[in-house]
């Protein structure tokens, strides 16, 4: 039984998405010959070459003057400069030619288009000596310009970190996606399918499993499935991943199975193991675990198998990154912000410290799903064994622990074990800003290599934090952020607006809290998300508990996740969101801290009711 695990385009370009590595480690431990592929990074590696870029310019030559924007024309007239620079720039972004940084920074080396119009003051953003980061930021803008050109001229779905996401973000019915799949193949499609074909012919798998973590991976998986069904009909196809788990749990559309054979839910290990055993004729189809199939009558049915079948987190093995082209990943810097840099710059080994969420009570989170609500920690000794195994495989010592929220108890034990073994690594993770993050724990984490954390301050309102059952207060979150920051650990805050019953005044007050968090140096980065009610969250399951009413209870035959609702408030959330984003972008760069928060909003809003020294007074902050 040979299994090929694939991440379809596109996710991160700087580091592998971990799902296939996690599953490969497990399946290999069970004796299965398993390979893996990241079609996204291989597609980008092939796409941004002189020969393919020349194809793109040639394909758009006849029509670009009539049908494209001024920006696309600006890129086209500089095509010789792009052709001359694309491969050196890609070598630089892969870390193969760092000496190119000086030429990139000196000015005339890179052709420029619209992405450079918002270029920050580089001396201010990166300092006088930060040539490598400065050059990487400029090279990122250059690649983004080319991406804009590709999207406008040859493939309207192409983006750097997702593919056709706008088609898949809200897809209650499958028909629009099917229509897209019947369209002629683009150059991007052909490149992707050539890579896929090479994987198939070189490995000859019996089963191809696609991990679909985000909406931006769905169309790629569909196109690959379409190709496999046409060319390699004997190969079985399976889907799994985050998008599948959240969006397709109520699937009723049989046409989806023209592109896959099995759709697996929740933890991939038990479902994949049962599927492999079934395909080997060891087990009947009735034993498939949490798997959708299309039966002979053309109906979508769920095979539940043994509801008690479970593979403990401790038994899942270390991730296995072998077979991935680790030398091809590129480091990008989209924003001149040290925390944002972690998401797109550097190749981080991704690892989970504990299965599920130890809190699992937040009203906005999909806590009803088993892979979130079922919490399973393992001993720190085993965690550090996995860390050392991954270092041996990849040769790199940077880790991103991708837990829903890393448990403080586990972080303490992990840090102690790392220190005891004299292991030198750098790591960052997601946390809840709770009282367990004392100065002593934060210092221990920093000593063990923690460089940054991200965590939800969410609505920055004590009333709303209580309503959503976050389990922390503003004051507690600020105190935890202070302890982390003072230990030398960068802090990123996830923020939310539009939660049911949140008033416009509370949103303005929340921005004032955020301004003070930045002004007092408690956080270094933040991002606002608009609240979305989902079918698997406490707020979606029981909206009446949050004084919300569902406005459309109809469900599609394909993807169902976000719920339309009202809380009977007449608030312009679009306008509020724009003001929140503008303010926070400036705060991240140390600007406009003395502005009253009302200045960020185009429409007239009320002044904040939060005293301007609220956090300093409550935390007894000392800046002497």
- Binned average pLDDT, 10 residues per bin, the chain of 624 residues: 95 93 96 97 97 93 72 92 98 95 91 83 58 90 95 88 55 92 93 98 98 94 98 97 95 97 96 96 94 96 85 93 95 79 88 96 94 94 97 95 95 98 97 96 98 95 96 95 97 95 96 97 94 95 96 91 91 93 91 94 94 89 50
CB atoms within 10 A of CB 234: 6
> Could you give the residue ranges of the DSSP H alpha helices within 97-130?
101-105, 122-126
**Residue 574 and residue 431 share a domain:** yes
**284: domain CATH number?**
3.40.50.280
Q: 192 to each of 8, 297, 525, 558, how far by Cα in Å?
A: 9, 33, 35, 25
Based on the fold, state whether residues 7 and 86 are members of the same structural domain. Answer: no
pLDDT of residue 570: 86
CA distance 544 to 210: 38
Omega before 110 cis (within 30°)? no
**How many angstroms separate the CA atoms of 293 and 285, rounded?**
10
Decide if 535 is inside a domain.
Answer: yes
Contact between 438 and 404 under an 8 Å Cβ cutoff? The reply is: no
Structure tokens, 66: 């009539």
Q: Does pTM surpass 0.75?
A: yes
**450-458 vs 376-377, strand pairing mode:** unpaired
Axis crossing angle, helix 39-47 with helix 218-231, rounded to the nearest 10: 90
Answer with the one of 85, 118, 153 that is the final residue of a domain: 153
What residues contact 438, with CB distance under 8 A and at least 6 apart?
A: 483
Question: Coil, helix or strand for 394?
Answer: helix
522 in any annotated domain: yes
Contact 534, 567 (CB under 8 A): no
Residue 561's CATH number? 3.20.20.70
Q: For residue 317, what are its two tokens?
A: 């093995």
Number of helices followed by number of strands (H, E) in the chain: 26, 17
Which of 34, 35, 40 is CA-nearest to residue 17? 40
Two tokens at 270? 């038990």
Residue 330 domain flag:
no
**Looking at the domain assignment, is residue 327 inside a domain?**
no
Of the chain, the end-to-end C-alpha distance in Å amounts to: 66
Helix ranges restricted to H, 232-376: 242-247, 268-279, 338-344, 370-373
Residue 8 belongs to what domain range? 2-42+166-310
CA atoms within 13 A on the CB side of 573: 18
Q: Are 563 and 488 in a shared domain?
A: yes
**Tell me, what's the pLDDT at 156?**
87
SS3 of residue 454 by DSSP? strand
- Burial category of 523 from C-beta neighbours within 10 Å (exposed 0-12, middle 13-18, buried 19 and up): buried
Q: Could you tell me if residue 159 is inside a domain? A: no
- 455 and 563, same domain (yes or no): yes
Same domain, 253 and 368: no
Tell me phi and psi for residue 159, to 5 degrees. Answer: -140, 165
Overall domain count for the chain: 3
Same domain, 348 and 467: yes
φ/ψ of residue 477, rounded to 5: -60, -40
Determine the Cα–Cα distance for residues 552 and 540; give it in Å rounded to an integer: 12
Q: Which of 491, 393, 410 is nearest to 444 (CA)?
A: 410
Same domain? For 24 and 94 the reply is no
Q: Tell me whether strands 549-550 and 565-566 are parallel, antiparallel or unpaired.
A: antiparallel
Angle between helices 439-447 and 474-486 (to 10 degrees): 40
Domain boundary among 118, 153, 188: 153
Rounded CA separation 563/534 (Å): 6
Rounded-to-integer distance, Cα 387 and Cα 398, Å = 10
pLDDT at 164: 42
Asked if residue 303 and residue 369 are part of one domain, the reply reads no
Q: Which of 132, 153, 174 is the last residue of a domain?
A: 153
Q: Are residues 362 and 299 in the same domain?
A: no
Residue 197 located in a structural domain: yes
Same domain? 69 vs 35: no
Vertex 479, ends 465 and 415: CA angle to 5°?
105
Residue 66 has what pLDDT?
Answer: 63
471 inside domain: yes
- Same domain for 145 and 173? no
- Residue 125 is predicted with a pLDDT of 56
| Residues 141, 177 within the same domain | no
Flag whether 503 is in a domain.
Answer: yes
């Amino acid at each position: 039984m040979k299994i090929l695990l694939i991440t379809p385009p596109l996710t991160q370009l700087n580091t592998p998405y971990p799902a296939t590595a996690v599953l490969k480690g497990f399946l290999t431990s069970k004796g299965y010959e398993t390979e893996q592929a990241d079609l996204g990074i291989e597609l980008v590696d092939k796409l941004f070459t002189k020969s393919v870029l020349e194809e793109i310019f040639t394909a758009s030559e006849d029509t670009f003057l009539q049908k494209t924007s001024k920006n696309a024309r600006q890129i086209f007239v500089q095509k010789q400069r792009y052709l001359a620079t694309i491969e050196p720039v890609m070598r630089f972004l892969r870390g193969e030619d760092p000496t190119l940084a000086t030429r990139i920074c000196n000015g005339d080396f890179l052709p420029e288009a619209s992405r450079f119009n918002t270029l920050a003051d580089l001396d201010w953003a990166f300092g006088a000596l930060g040539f490598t980061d400065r050059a990487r930021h400029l090279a990122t803008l250059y690649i983004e310009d080319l991406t804009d050109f590709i999207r406008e001229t040859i493939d309207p779905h192409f983006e750097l970190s997702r593919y056709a996401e706008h088609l898949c973000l809200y897809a209650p019915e499958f028909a629009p996606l099917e229509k897209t799949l019947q369209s002629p193949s683009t150059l991007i499609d052909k490149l992707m399918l050539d890579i896929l074909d090479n994987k198939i012919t070189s490995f000859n798998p019996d089963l191809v499993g696609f991990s679909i973590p985000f909406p931006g991976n769905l169309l790629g998986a569909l196109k690959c499935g379409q190709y496999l069904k046409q060319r390699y009909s004997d190969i079985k196809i399976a889907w799994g991943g985050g998008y599948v788990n959240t969006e397709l749990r109520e699937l009723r559309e049989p046409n989806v199975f023209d592109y896959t054979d099995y759709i697996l839910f929740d933890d991939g290990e038990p479902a994949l193991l049962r599927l492999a055993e079934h395909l080997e004729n060891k087990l009947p189809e009735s034993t498939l675990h949490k798997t959708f199939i299309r039966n002979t009558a053309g109906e979508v049915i769920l095979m539940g198998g043994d509801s008690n079948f479970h593979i403990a987190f401790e038994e899942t093995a270390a991730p296995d990154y072998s077979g991935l082209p680790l030398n091809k990943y590129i480091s990008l810097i989209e924003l001149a912000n040290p925390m944002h840099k972690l998401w797109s710059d550097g190749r981080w080994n991704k690892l989970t410290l504990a299965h599920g969420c130890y809190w699992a009570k937040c009203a906005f989170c999909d806590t009803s799903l088993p892979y979130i609500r079922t919490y399973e920690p393992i001993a720190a000794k085993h965690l550090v064994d996995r860390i050392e195994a991954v270092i041996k495989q990849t040769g790199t010592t940077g880790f991103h622990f991708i837990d829903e929220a890393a448990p403080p108890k586990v972080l303490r034990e992990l840090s102690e074990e790392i220190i005891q073994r004299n292991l030198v690594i750098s790591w960052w993770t997601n946390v809840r800003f709770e009282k367990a993050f004392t100065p002593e724990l934060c210092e221990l984490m920093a000593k063990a290599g923690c460089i940054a954390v991200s965590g939800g301050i969410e609505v920055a309102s004590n009333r709303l934090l209580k309503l959503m059952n976050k389990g922390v207060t503003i004051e507690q979150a600020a105190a935890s952020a202070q302890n982390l920051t003072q230990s030398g650990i960068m802090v990123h805050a996830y923020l939310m607006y539009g939660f049911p019953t949140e008033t416009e005044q509370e949103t303005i007050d929340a921005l004032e809290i955020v301004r003070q968090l930045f002004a007092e140096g408690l956080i270094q980065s933040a991002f606002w998300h608009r609240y979305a009610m989902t079918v698997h969250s406490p707020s979606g399951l029981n909206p009446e508990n949050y004084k919300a009413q569902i406005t459309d209870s109809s469900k599609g035959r394909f993807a169902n996740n976000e719920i339309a609702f009202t809380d009977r408030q007449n608030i312009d959330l679009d306008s509020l969101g724009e003001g929140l984003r503008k303010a926070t972008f400036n705060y991240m760069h140390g600007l406009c801290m003395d502005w009253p928060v009302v200045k960020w909003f185009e429409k007239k809003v009320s002044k904040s009711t939060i005293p301007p020294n609220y956090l300093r007074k409550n935390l007894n902050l000392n800046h002497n």
